[in-house]
Amino acid sequence: MSWIPFKIGQPKKQIVPKTVERDFEREYGKLQQLEEQTKRLQKDMKKSTDADLAMSKSAVKISLDLLSNPLCEQDQDFLNMVTALDTAMKRMDAFNQEKVNQIQKTVIEPLKKFGSVFPSLNMAVKRREQALQDYRRLQAKVEKYEEKEKTGPVLAKLHQAREELRPVREDFEAKNKQLLDEMPRFYGSRLDYFQPSFESLIRAQVVYFSEMHKIFGDLTQQLDQPGHSDEQRERENEAKLSELRALSIVADD
- The pTM assigned to this predicted structure is 0.77
Q: How confident is the model at residue 193 (pLDDT cuts 50, 70, 90)?
A: very high
For 118-137, what is the mean pLDDT? 95
pLDDT exceeds cutoff 90 at 124: yes
User: Where do the domains of the chain lie, and which CATH numbers do they carry?
Assistant: 21-188 (1.20.1270.60)
What does the pLDDT read at residue 9?
Answer: 43
CA distances from 136 to 7, 16, 112, 168, 172 (A): 11, 10, 38, 10, 10
Find, among 119, 100, 104, 110, the residue nearest to 194 by Cα: 110
Classify residue 14 by burial, with Cβ atoms within 10 Å: 0-12, 13-18, 19+: exposed
* Cα dihedral 141→142→147→150 (10° resolution): 120
Q: Determine the Cα angle at 21 with ends 20 and 27, to 5°.
A: 90
Residue 87: pLDDT band (50, 70, 90) is: very high
Confidence band (pLDDT; 50, 70, 90) for 2? very low
Q: What phi-psi label fits residue 69: left (phi over 0), alpha (psi between -120 and 50 degrees) or beta?
A: beta
